[in-house]
A = this chain, B = another copy of it.
Amino acid sequence: MSPDASPRSVDAVLFDTFGTVVDWRSGVAAAVAEFAQQHGFDADPGEFALRWRARYQPAMRAVRLGEREFVDLDVLHRENLLATAEELGIALDRVDDAEIDRLNRAWHRLDAWPDAIAGLTRLKRHFIIGPLSNGHTALLTNMAKHAGLPWDVIIGSDLTRAYKPDPEAYLRTAAILDLPPERVMLCAAHDEDLAAAQRAGLRTAFIPRPQEHGPAQRADPEPGGSWDVVARDVPDLAARLLDG
């Protein structure tokens, strides 16, 4: 840890959520499995979840480039859900819109990685904690209630009107908290996110999530940048920030 990332050097520790705090693949796969059984579809739920997620970054691209007005992840996830179903030859035209919406909201009902809540609970005693996610406020609030995430504050992408790694996503979040960027740390399992946060002037912490893409994930994730903190998981991040 660099000396200027000591506990007293930041006021807020914010987290990427999908993949870093919650296990999106298991949660989405479980929802797909339930949906498939209910409607008699033949689908590999894990495969469906991975393909649905693979459309995530490209879908935000048009918003980031300013080619499309900001729409929230419920809108993008739903478009991607329909496209994934079509790709896999699953005909959804006889399924009620309300049931497709319910499946789409699987992204609101994800469980935390087993270590996350203990680590967040400890960090909360010393820092402002919250998500810094591409999720919108309603999604992140529902997720927090579902998973028991003890956030102090939830500033969704609908409020910053920017999708990471757009610098405004980081800068506007810090501004809403009335903190200079260097008093805010982003913790994420993804180098691209941390690199953009670092360019925007935030502190950075990497934690690996080797199971994010499931048991078949090939390589263990290694930190690919010069981050202020590299930790094993959220409790280890808390220990590194607080125990010096």
Residue positions of A touching B, CB distance < 8 A: 74, 128, 136-138, 141, 144-145, 151-156, 158-159, 176-179
Which residues of B are found within 8 Å of A152, using beta-carbon distances? Answer: 141, 144-145, 151, 154
Q: How distant is A144 from chain B, measured CB to nearest CB, in Å?
A: 6
Q: Is the CB of A137 within 8 A of B158?
A: no
Additional 17 contacts, C-beta under 8 A, given A137-B153, A137-B177, A151-B152? A74-B178, A128-B141, A136-B178, A137-B155, A137-B176, A138-B176, A138-B177, A138-B179, A141-B177, A144-B152, A145-B152, A151-B153, A152-B154, A153-B153, A154-B154, A156-B176, A159-B176
Point out the residue from B145, B151, B159 that lies within 8 Å of A159, measured CB to CB: B159
Which residues of B are found within 8 Å of A74, using beta-carbon distances? Answer: 178
Point out the residue from B138, B145, B178 that lies within 8 Å of A138, measured CB to CB: B178
Which residues of B are found within 8 Å of A128, using beta-carbon distances? Answer: 141, 145
Q: Is the CB of A176 within 8 A of B153?
A: no
Q: How distant is A184 from chain B, measured CB to nearest CB, in Å?
A: 12
A151 vs B130: C-alpha distance in the bound complex, in angstroms? 12
Q: How distant is A73 from chain B, measured CB to nearest CB, in Å?
A: 11
Would you give 27 A-B contacts (Cβ < 8 Å), ordered by A? A74-B178, A128-B141, A128-B145, A136-B178, A137-B153, A137-B155, A137-B176, A137-B177, A138-B176, A138-B177, A138-B178, A138-B179, A141-B153, A141-B177, A144-B152, A144-B153, A145-B152, A151-B152, A151-B153, A152-B154, A153-B153, A153-B154, A154-B154, A156-B176, A158-B176, A159-B159, A159-B176
Which residues of B are found within 8 Å of A177, using beta-carbon distances? Answer: 137-138, 141
Can you list the 4 inter-chain pairs with the closest CB atoms, starting with the nearest? A138-B178, A153-B154, A141-B153, A137-B176
A208 vs B127: C-alpha distance in the bound complex, in angstroms? 33
A137 vs B74: C-alpha distance in the bound complex, in angstroms? 24
A153 vs B145: C-alpha distance in the bound complex, in angstroms? 10
Which residues of B are found within 8 Å of A141, using beta-carbon distances? Answer: 128, 152-153, 177
Which residues of B are found within 8 Å of A156, using beta-carbon distances? Answer: 176
Q: How distant is A49 from chain B, measured CB to nearest CB, in Å?
A: 23
Which residues of B are found within 8 Å of A158, using beta-carbon distances? Answer: 176
Which residues of B are found within 8 Å of A145, using beta-carbon distances? Answer: 128, 152
